[in-house]
Amino acid sequence: MNAGIFDELKKLITRAYAPYSHFKVAVIIRDKKGNFARGVNVENASYGLTSCAERNAVFSFVASGFEKPAELFLYTETDGFTAPCGACRQVLMEFDPNLPVIMLNRSGDEKRVLIAELVPLPFGPKDLDEAT
């Protein structure tokens, strides 16, 4: 269904830097005009400084000056589907709770959820308005 995106993700994941976990992750965020921002996970010898593919893609999306994210594609070379980690879920909620997250496995099978479905009882921008 997303054949072009799947090909892009397979190329992108080769750029992941994961020498410690050997678990590579590739993310593409698309806006409604068809602009793409990309992210891969980047690990570090100081393990805690590792940065996930989703957050790297979000930061690239924002820095590219693109409008609101329309869809996020998350690819791992696994048989099952990989869902975003908790920290990335929080970051992805910031722009649109209805952001579709499409997880793809190594066969190109897809599982689609909304980011809000992954974050029950969220903390978000409007919580800040309630503090005086």
Applying CB under 6 A, which of residues 29, 57, 75, 84 lies at the interface with ligand THU? 84
Q: Which of 13, 41, 102, 104 binds ligand THU (CB under 6 A)?
A: 41
Q: Which residues pair with 25 in a beta bridge?
A: 76
Q: Given the structure tokens 């994961």, which residue do they identify?
A: 18
Is 92 a binder of ligand THU (CB under 6 A)? Answer: no
Return the residue of 5, 12, 58, 88 that touches ligand THU, per CB under 6 A.
Answer: 88
Give yes or no: 54 in active site: yes
Choices 1-9, 83-91, 92-100, 108-116 (CB under 6 A): range interacting with ligand THU: 83-91
- The yes or no reply on residue 54 touching ligand THU (CB under 6 A) is yes
Instruction: Yes or no: say if 69 and 30 are a contact pair by the CB < 8 Å rule.
Output: yes
- 50 in contact with ligand THU (CB under 6 A): yes
Query: For residue 99, which of 123, 74, 76 has the smallest C-alpha distance?
Result: 74
Identified catalytic residue from 43, 54, 94, 130: 54
**Residue partners of 63: CB distance under 8 A and separation at least 6:** none
In 10 A of CB 100, how many CB atoms?
Answer: 15
Question: Which residues are marked as active site?
Answer: 54
